[in-house]
Amino acid sequence: MSDPKSSSTPAPAAGQSAGHDAAADAGTTHFGYRKVAEEEKSQHVAGVFHSVASNYDLMNDLMSAGLHRWWKAFTIRQANVRPGMKVLDVAGGTGDLALRFARQAGASGQVWLTDINGSMLAQGRDRMINAGVLLPLAQCDAEFLPFADHMFDVVTVAFGLRNMTHKDKALAEMQRVLRPGGRLLVLEFSRVWAPLTPLYDAYSFNVLPWLGKQFAGDSESYRYLAESIRMHPPQDELALMMERAGLERVQWFNLTAGVCALHVGTKH
């Protein structure tokens, strides 16, 4: 991890990076490298997560050699959830973050686990039950959050934003449901340190689909993973998107040489 960076870094010109989804301006967007109609993307993404849900946690450990646990532990420390807090985990899937937050917020707090995908949420629900933790769940689209304004102290989204069709809309929704002074934490794959790019590309486009085929019988979903990471906005661009959504003092931490970044912004 490096020192936190802030969004004072000049933004790349629009369309300059693969992260800028210029296609979205014309009613189309990207599903990995493929250009698809906006309405289609959510169906393709749903297909991926229905397919991977039952092997999701195992594949995360295999693909990242356990590193995702460290990235999430760092996110949990930065979130600094205390007893009595209200926390929303958006696109929470199998519930790694929500489970830890529920323990930290305690009986006087409230932690919501949400996701658009019923298969992923079912895995999350089972994990909570097995851990003896009761928390509210909601199946909902991050672009239309069914919560009141100013409701949460902390909102998190881990490895979810990349899959959303209108990231700006989802960020605006997350900002809306935060209370003034509340914080949004976005953990997402990001732009790796340039000298590592050839190695990282070789790993992503060869090893990931192979692992997917061997352990989950599905190489395509893991090819989508590699492609969607390349299409996601890099660190400085995401910071600007968060600012445009109304968040302030946005800073980010590069994790594992930028394989991931944790962005943190505060609602005024």
Q: Which residues bind ligand SAM (CB under 6 A)?
A: 45, 49, 91-94, 96, 115-117, 120, 141-143, 158-160, 163-164
CB of 70 to ligand SAM, least distance (A): 13
Nearer to ligand SAM, 92 or 233 (CB): 92
Residue 97 to residues 94, 103, 162, 178, Cα–Cα distance (Å): 9, 10, 17, 18
Closer to ligand SAM by CB, 163 or 175: give it.
163
Shortest-Cβ-distance residue relative to ligand SAM = 93
- Least distance in angstroms from the C-beta of 210 to ligand SAM: 19
Minimum CB separation of residue 121 from ligand SAM in Å reads: 8
Q: Which is nearer to ligand SAM, 7 or 186 (CB)?
A: 186
Q: For residues 122 and 151, what is the distance between their CA atoms, to the nearest angstrom?
A: 25
| Residue tagged 């989804």 (tokens) | 21
Burial 209-241 (b: 16+ CB within 10 A, else e): beebeeebebeebbbbbbbbbbbbbbbbbbbbb
Q: Nearer to ligand SAM by C-beta: 7 or 111? A: 111
What is d(CA 40, CA 31) in angstroms, rounded to the nearest whole number?
A: 9
- Minimum Å gap between C-beta 59 and ligand SAM is 10
The residues facing 36 across adjacent strands are: 29
Residue 45 Cβ vs ligand SAM, minimum distance, rounded to whole Å: 5
Q: Which residue has the tokens 């949990």?
A: 76
Residue with tokens 């301006």: 25
Nearest to 208 by CA among 186, 187, 229: 229
For ligand SAM, which is the closer residue by CB, 49 or 152?
49
Q: How far apart are CA 92 and CA 128, in angstroms?
A: 12
Taking CA atoms, 238 is separated from 10, 153, 191, in Å, by 12, 21, 11
- Report in angstroms how near the CB of residue 174 gets to ligand SAM at its nearest: 11
CB nearer ligand SAM, residue 7 or residue 152: 152
- Amino acid identity of residue 33, one-letter, is Y
Shortest Cβ distance from residue 144 to ligand SAM (Å)?
A: 9
Cβ closest to ligand SAM, residue 7 vs residue 48: 48
CA 265-80-191 angle, to 5 degrees, is 45
Cβ-contact 253, 73 below 8 angstroms: no
